[in-house]
């Protein structure tokens, strides 16, 4: 890892908000590409947090403070990732599915989509199939994006797709899905229109489906 990124990585791992913000600033000042800052300094640290949780070294509070440090750093990084000074190319409703409170990945996807000139309607976390359907009715987006981080909440994506079909809306909106446990095969299985493994590929996928 780039030496300039190590303090940022450590700050997120240890849940230190101020240090995380300072770490992002130092990396940007040091000329590191914002995407490298994100992937190698920040997402890599969150992966390690997950590993320590699995190993029983970290518990929920440690995951939570690490997530807060990550969000604070992201707020500073966002203007460098997003340049949305042009007209929207389409509208997308996004949310984390019912029962799931993980929102860092979903927020990153929303940021990249904003950078790709989409208008974002962000429903937040723990979004029920009914709420997704209501939002599609109300906003009439070209795309709907669902994020899930838990194996136990992934099935809510299929329930939402089925609810769109029952409401007669499935043909009117393209559905894209993602999140750490989600795969291309799962996306095909549940009848989604697309899957992306990360935020930048989610933005390219959205552009290709909206076009």
Binding site residues, ligand B1M, CB under 6 A:
43, 46-47, 49-50, 53-54, 60, 63-64, 67, 99-106, 108-109, 145-147, 149-151, 176-181, 196, 198-199, 202
Give the integer Cα–Cα distance in Å for 207 and 211: 6
209 within 8 A of 175, measured Cβ to Cβ: no
2 within 8 A of 36, measured Cβ to Cβ: yes
Place of tokens 């969150």: 46
Closer Cβ to ligand B1M, 85 or 112, answer by number: 112
Give the integer Cα–Cα distance in Å for 9 and 129: 36
Q: How far is the CB of 94 from ligand B1M (least distance, A)?
A: 6
Closer Cβ to ligand B1M, 164 or 202, answer by number: 202
Closer Cβ to ligand B1M, 29 or 106, answer by number: 106
Closer Cβ to ligand B1M, 101 or 189, answer by number: 101
Q: How far is the CB of 1 from ligand B1M (least distance, A)?
A: 17
Closer Cβ to ligand B1M, 11 or 67, answer by number: 67
Alpha-carbon torsion (191, 154, 142, 208), positive or negative: negative
Report the chain's terminal Cα–Cα distance, integer Å: 37
Q: How far is the CB of 191 from ligand B1M (least distance, A)?
A: 15
Q: How far is the CB of 165 from ligand B1M (least distance, A)?
A: 19
Residue 192 tokens read as 């989604």
Closer Cβ to ligand B1M, 1 or 101, answer by number: 101
125 within 8 A of 100, measured Cβ to Cβ: yes
101 within 8 A of 126, measured Cβ to Cβ: yes
Q: How far is the CB of 199 from ligand B1M (least distance, A)?
A: 4
- Quick one: CA torsion of 34, 36, 41, 46, rounded to 10 degrees? 100
Q: How far is the CB of 117 from ligand B1M (least distance, A)?
A: 17
Residue 26 tokens read as 């130092």
């Amino acid at each position: 890892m780039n030496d300039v990124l190590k303090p940022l990585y450590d700050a997120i791992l240890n849940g230190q908000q101020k240090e995380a913000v300072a770490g992002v600033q130092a990396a940007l000042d040091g000329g590191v590409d914002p995407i490298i800052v994100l992937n190698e300094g920040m997402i890599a640290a969150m992966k390690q947090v997950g590993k320590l949780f699995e190993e029983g070294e970290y518990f929920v509070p440690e995951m939570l403070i690490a997530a807060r440090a990550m969000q604070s750093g992201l707020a500073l990084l966002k203007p460098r990732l997003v340049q949305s000074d042009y007209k929207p190319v389409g509208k997308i409703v996004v949310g984390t599915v019912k029962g799931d409170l993980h929102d860092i990945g979903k927020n990153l996807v929303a940021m990249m989509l904003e950078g790709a000139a989409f208008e974002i309607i962000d429903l937040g976390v723990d979004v029920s199939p009914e709420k997704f359907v209501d939002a599609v009715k109300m906003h009439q987006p070209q795309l709907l994006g669902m994020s899930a981080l838990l194996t136990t909440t992934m099935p809510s994506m299929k329930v939402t797709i089925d609810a769109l079909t029952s409401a007669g809306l499935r043909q009117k909106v393209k559905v894209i899905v993602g999140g750490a446990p989600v795969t291309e095969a799962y996306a095909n299985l549940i009848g989604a229109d697309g899957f992306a493994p990360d935020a930048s590929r989610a933005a390219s996928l959205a552009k290709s489906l909206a076009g």
